[in-house]
């Protein structure tokens, strides 16, 4: 039996309060791995591509789970499962976009244990990186996907900076489209950040896909929801298979309507950038226009503006255009 066949010894901590979890995370820092559902964590450890000296399991902390109405919207605990979010009557009533996105993650078995925080904080699925190759993201000096021989069908159209991997989360674009904020705890207290600013591209930090640092824990996610505002939501995911697969492209759309016209628009895609990608030109174009076929055609022409396709992912441009059309027609 080789050393590769034996998992390294790992300490397990199971705090029952956020305070204890923060103390542990601060003390262990980069030597610890935070675990909720563990769907991304155990894949890394099973494949021996990454190891950790300790795991801090967060699923036993009551205040990190659950969905509740707040004065200005909905608050979701970090370890709340994707199934709970998809099935929540409150979410279905006020922010169905998030429920629809959660319903499209992977498979029922994964949604039953996978958490909302884990889904947005998961690492990229680029197979070169996850096989343990020494690419730019892993500290090397090459992006294997961005080479003449590279297999890059699932990789980015925008935001490439040495690395061309994409954000794999289905719920992330929905949270950005909904204007969500994320509460992060560390030894200095709680900090609130816009969901859009939570994610980072390789031009900012090529070693990670979000702003979380060692010692920090996601506590909750807040989504504004005012039932008095007329809002239309749309979510669609295009993948090779309807179950389990990550998105080739997905789109999350939130449209505020007044007198039949769009007063505020948010269009966000995943699968095309290293972070959720806002279609800001589409958003500007749609404002003060009626949703429908005419607006859809004009918006579609702007959907993939500035895209830089790789050898094998030109088809994503047409996918983005068609998803924008469908969102405005639907």
pLDDT tens digits, 159-170: 999 999 999 999
Are 80 and 116 contacting, i.e. CB atoms less than 8 angstroms apart?
yes
Q: What is the largest CA-CA distance in the chain?
A: 70
Q: What pTM did the predictor assign?
A: 0.96
Mean pLDDT on 171-190: 98
What H or E segment, with its residue span, contains residue 325?
helix 315-329
| pLDDT of amino acid 5 | 58
Count Cβ atoms below 10 Å from residue 244 Cβ, excluding itself: 12
**Dist CA 126 CA 99 (whole Å):** 26
> Is the per-residue pLDDT at 114 higher than 90?
yes
Rounded CA-CA distance 28/162 in Å is 31
- Read off the DSSP letter of residue 210: B
Residue with tokens 């005012």: 226
For residue 74, the model assigns a pLDDT of 98
Please state the rounded mean pLDDT for residues 206-216: 96
**Per-residue pLDDT reduced to its tens digit, 5-38:** 566 789 999 999 999 999 999 999 999 999 999 8
Tokens representing 94? 């006020």
Residues 114, 120, 125: CA angle, nearest 5 degrees:
85
Which of 198, 224, 225 minimizes the C-alpha distance to 213? 198
Per-residue pLDDT tens for 243-295? 889 999 999 999 999 999 999 999 999 999 999 999 999 999 999 999 999 99
Buried b (16+ CB within 10 A) or exposed e, 3-26: eeeeeeeeeebebeebeebbebbb
Rounded distance between C-alpha atoms, residue 238 and residue 272, angstroms: 12
Gap between the Cα atoms of 42 and 261, Å rounded: 47
For the stretch 59-112, pLDDT in tens is 999 999 999 999 999 999 999 999 999 999 999 999 999 999 999 999 999 999
Are the beta carbons of 151 and 161 closer than 8 angstroms?
A: no
pLDDT, mean of residues 131-138: 93
Residue given tokens 């950790």 in the structure block: 52
- Digit-coded pLDDT (tens) for 33-67: 999 998 888 878 877 778 899 999 999 999 999 99
The β-bridge relationship of strands 67-69 and 11-13 is unpaired
* Mean pLDDT of the region 174-199: 98
Q: What is the pLDDT of residue 7?
A: 67
Checking if the pLDDT of 145 tops 70, the result is yes
Residues with Cβ within 8 Å of residue 229, at least 6 apart in sequence? 256
Nearest to 280 by CA among 248, 309, 302: 302
> pLDDT at position 39, please?
85
Q: Model confidence at 1, in pLDDT bands (50, 70, 90)?
A: very low
Angstrom distance (rounded) from CA 104 to CA 101 = 5
């Amino acid at each position: 039996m080789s050393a590769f066949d034996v998992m390294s010894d790992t300490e397990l901590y199971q705090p029952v309060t956020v305070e204890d979890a923060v103390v542990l995370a601060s003390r262990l820092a980069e030597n610890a791995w935070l675990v909720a559902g563990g769907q991304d964590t155990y894949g890394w450890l099973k494949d021996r591509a990454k190891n950790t000296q300790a795991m801090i399991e967060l699923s036993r902390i009551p205040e990190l789970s659950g969905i509740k109405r707040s004065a200005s919207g909905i608050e979701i605990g970090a370890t709340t499962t994707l199934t709970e979010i998809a099935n929540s009557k409150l979410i279905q009533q006020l922010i169905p976009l998030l429920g629809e996105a959660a319903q499209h993650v992977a498979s029922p078995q994964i949604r039953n244990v996978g958490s909302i925080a884990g889904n947005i904080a998961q690492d990229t699925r680029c197979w070169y990186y996850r096989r343990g190759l020494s690419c730019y993201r892993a500290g090397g000096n090459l992006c294997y996907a961005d080479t003449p021989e590279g297999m890059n069908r699932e990789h980015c159209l925008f935001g490439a900076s040495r690395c061309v991997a994409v954000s794999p989360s289905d719920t992330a674009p929905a949270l950005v489209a909904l204007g969500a904020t994320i509460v992060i705890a560390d030894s200095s207290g709680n900090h609130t950040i816009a969901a859009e600013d939570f994610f980072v591209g390789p031009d900012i930090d090529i070693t990670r896909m979000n702003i979380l640092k060692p010692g920090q824990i996601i506590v909750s996610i807040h989504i504004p929801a005012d039932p008095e505002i007329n809002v239309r939501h749309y979510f669609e995911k295009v993948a090779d298979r309807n179950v389990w697969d990550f998105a080739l492209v997905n789109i999350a759309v939130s449209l505020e309507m007044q007198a039949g016209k769009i007063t505020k628009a948010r269009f966000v895609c995943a699968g095309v950038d290293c972070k959720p990608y806002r279609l800001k030109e589409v958003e500007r174009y749609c404002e003060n226009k009626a949703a429908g076929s005419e607006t859809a055609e004009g918006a579609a022409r702007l959907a993939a503006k500035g895209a830089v396709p790789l050898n094998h992912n030109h088809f994503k441009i047409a996918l983005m255009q068609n998803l924008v059309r469908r969102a405005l027609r639907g």
